Structure 1
Amino acid sequence: MSSRSLSRSAARLAAVQALYQQEMEGTATPALLHEFHHHRLGATIEEATYADAEVAFFDDVVTGALARRDEIDAKIEGKLADGWSLARLDKPMKAVLRAGAYELLARPDVPTPTVISEYLDVADAFYDKREKGFVNGLLDALAKDVRPA
């Protein structure tokens, strides 16, 4: 994997964490970005060093997903099974789906398979196989709508 790919993967994971934190605490976007820039991106935990996140990409995903949250939530909700609502999903799942949906909507420079694969990897950090299948199915269905072939 190239260093750019690794830095984007790190940015995506951090973006999901930031979106989760924002939903939990209601942190204003500038404060949220500041905290991640200064305390989280490229952090070292014990012996493992994580790839430095691509800061501009992180900023775009976080600010874009927050700015377009109502639109993104409506698109996600439209792909949920009957009887399901966004409110039934836990906060980490919402963060993963919002970040992935934002990329599908606003980042045509990133190929659809890359977006889906990357957010499956992010989901893997939080969930088991069943939830990863849910992320895959929802982002794939969303991609068919927002990025017709």
Structure 2
Amino acid sequence: MRKLIFALAPVIAMGGITLAVAQNATTATREVYVKARPTDVLSSNLIGLNVHNNAKENVGEIKDLIVSSSGQLSGFIVSVGGFLGIGERYVVVAPSALKVTYSENDKKWSATMDTTKDALKAAPEFKYEGRWSK
């Protein structure tokens, strides 16, 4: 009898970066532990990362990640507007719309998106409520 250990899709791809996620695993056929690859990124490197547009203007900040039930990255929750957490609103940005890169020279992560702060403010709002309450 095989025992299901966890059920997530094998890979999350975003802005040219691939995140390894545990696969559907059974004790008889799958490895339980995986090795992080040099191209992988930790969520802790993304949360709090400022998002800049092509004009190098700060348009928001990555606050959270949305992972689907199949284990795929569905979106980035980006905060826009507000000051010191007051008056900010959240929008969900498609992974393909946000480019995350790492500079080996600077040892820094960056996130860019072809948008404006006004466009993000006008996007449909995401609210942390119901099943998404913090």
State TM-score, norm by structure 2: 0.24
The higher radius of gyration belongs to 2
Which structure carries more strand by proportion?
Answer: 2
Q: With a CA cutoff of 8 Å and minimum separation of 6, indicate the structure with the bigger relative contact order.
A: 1
Which structure carries more helix by proportion?
Answer: 1
State TM-score, norm by structure 1: 0.23
